[in-house]
Amino acid sequence: MVTLSNLYAQHRGRVCDKWSLYLRVYEDLFESKRSTALNLLEIGVQNGGSLELWAQYLPNAEHLVGCDINPECGTLFFDDPRISVVVGDANADEAFQSIKSICESYDVIIDDGSHVPRDVVTSFLNYFPMLSPGGTYVVEDVHCDYLDSHV
């Protein structure tokens, strides 16, 4: 099977912004799940390119749900019927209910949202209970800028 890194390099759809290190980690985490009928939630989808990439990498996924606070994400439409986008603050009740109405539980949850610690914690408290047993919860871009070596 084609690797996630190769799919990323060949991707010609919407812009997909991922650190190359993440791609290798995601391959390690999800390689064994590629052929399963899983459900994925990504908080923070920006241009929607990552949803296209996940759709290619996870051909048997049932639901690929993205949520973004940017109203422009309401114009994102995909040919793949497995992809849904909820526009709103993932931590607001309306967006949470919309996400839950699409799928009650998720096998993979990726928080690539605001990156503000308070929001990350709130998202975790809201969405971790929706994680399927044996599922994976990932928080992206948690940088250690408070350490001298990262300033």
Q: Which residues have a catalytic role annotated? A: 115
On whether the CB atoms of residues 62 and 28 are closer than 8 A, the answer is no
CA gap 52, 149 in Å, rounded: 35
Q: Give the residue ranges of DSSP H helices in 42-146.
A: 49-57, 93-102, 117-127
Helix or strand or coil: residue 32? helix
- Alpha-helical (H) ranges within 1-151 are 4-10, 20-30, 49-57, 93-102, 117-127
Structure tokens at 105: 């539980």
What's the token pair of residue 107?
């096998």
- How far apart CA 134 and CA 21 sit, in angstroms, is 23
